[in-house]
């Protein structure tokens, strides 16, 4: 869920969001090298820019904090569609930081980890929660703030939900979505107290960016309807600022069945279950 309570003087929107990490996605590998080199492959790797890539920015940023260490040859296997609202780029940056910490054999204490997570907001508003996932060993987090200035609150380490992710093959601009947002702000809510409350909690919440995103990319509404029509779908919702949407199912088998149903009618859509 993603709800917006107000806009800060800094210009950032104040968000309340519950974020989970699915366990499938892009992959990062690093090996020691005298300079920085980035190689991109994978289903969605073609055409992605090397220069200015957030992976290289994250690597340079970390070396600036811990100078004197070796640079690296970085391989990014891009399995997730770009600009799709599921945190792919931010997760890639966070995974790069975690991989380099391992490569350099740097063992940070709890206070150093907390400081590094907070500082990583310099790289982007979603990087801190992705780095927290890498370094704290949790896969559910609560955000109560602006991302850049707020700190992700770890909730639980649980088995991933039985999810089906669908992207209709369109990219949407996060700044564009926030610009189109109608600025009807939401009342603040309390985070769920336990994992057992998660699904009932989600039923009481929403993604406040869905109307604006659907207006800019009408395919989002089609994806949500397709998910809602599949058997045993507990909840269908847009992820982040779109255009990827997800369905939560009772079992992994039901998610896979739904994937087959939707792909039969919409073969050009990207799906992961």
Task: Give the start-to-end residue ranges of the domains of the chain.
Answer: 24-138, 162-272
The DSSP-derived string for 88-128 is HHHHHHHHHHHHHHHHTT----HHHHHHHHHHGGGG-TTHH
pLDDT tens digits, 8-53: 887 788 899 999 998 889 999 999 999 999 999 999 999 999 999 9
Whether the predicted pLDDT of 268 surpasses 80: yes
Establish whether domains 24-138 and 162-272 are of one fold: no
Report the pLDDT value the prediction gives residue 147, as an integer from 0 to 100: 57
Are 195 and 21 in contact, with CB atoms under 8 Å apart? Answer: no
Using CA atoms of 118, 120, 125, 129 in order, give the dihedral in degrees to the nearest 10. -70
Pick the CATH number of 162-272 from 3.60.20.10, 3.30.70.890, 3.20.20.80, 3.40.50.150: 3.30.70.890
Write out pLDDT tens, residues 76-113: 999 999 989 999 999 999 999 999 999 999 999 999 99
Which pLDDT band holds residue 148 (cuts at 50, 70, 90)?
Answer: low
CATH number of 24-138: 3.30.230.10
Question: How far apart (Å, rounded) are the C-alpha atoms in residues 56 and 163?
Answer: 30
Q: What is the mean pLDDT of the chain?
A: 94
pLDDT tens-digit series, residues 223-241? 999 999 999 999 999 999 9
Which tokens go with 210? 């869905």
Residue 67 pLDDT: 97
Residue 185 CB partners (closer than 8 Å, separation 6+): 4, 5, 6, 7
* pTM of structure: 0.94
Give the pLDDT score at 149: 59
Task: Say how many C-beta atoms besides its own lie within 10 A of residue 131's C-beta.
Answer: 28
In angstroms, rounded to a whole number, what is the distance separating the alpha carbons of residues 176 and 214? 12
């Amino acid at each position: 869920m993603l709800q917006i309570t107000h806009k800060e003087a800094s210009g950032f929107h104040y968000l309340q969001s519950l974020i989970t990490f699915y366990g499938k996605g892009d992959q990062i590998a690093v090996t020691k090298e005298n300079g920085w080199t980035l190689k991109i492959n994978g289903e969605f790797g073609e055409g992605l820019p090397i220069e200015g890539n957030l992976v290289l920015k994250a690597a340079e940023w970390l070396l600036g904090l811990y100078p004197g260490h070796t640079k690296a040859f970085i391989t990014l296997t891009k399995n997730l569609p770009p600009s799709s609202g599921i945190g792919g780029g931010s997760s890639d940056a966070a995974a790069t930081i975690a991989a380099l910490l391992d490569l350099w054999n740097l063992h940070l204490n709890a206070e150093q980890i907390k400081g590094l997570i907070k500082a990583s907001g310099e790289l982007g508003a979603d990087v801190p929660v992705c780095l927290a996932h890498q370094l704290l060993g949790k896969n559910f987090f609560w955000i109560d703030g602006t991302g850049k200035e707020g700190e992700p609150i770890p909730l639980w380490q649980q088995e991933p939900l039985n999810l089906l992710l669908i992207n209709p093959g369109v990219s949407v601009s996060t700044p564009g979505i926030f610009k189109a947002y109608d600025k009807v702000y939401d009342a603040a809510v309390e985070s769920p107290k336990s994992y057992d409350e998660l699904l009932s909690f989600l039923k009481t919440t929403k993604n406040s960016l869905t109307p604006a995103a659907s207006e800019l990319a009408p395919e989002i509404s089609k994806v949500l309807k397709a998910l809602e029509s599949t058997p045993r779908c507990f909840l269908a919702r847009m992820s982040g600022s779109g255009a990827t949407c997800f369905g939560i199912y009772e079992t992994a088998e039901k998610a896979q069945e739904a994937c087959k149903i939707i792909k039969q009618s919409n073969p050009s859509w990207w799906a992961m279950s």
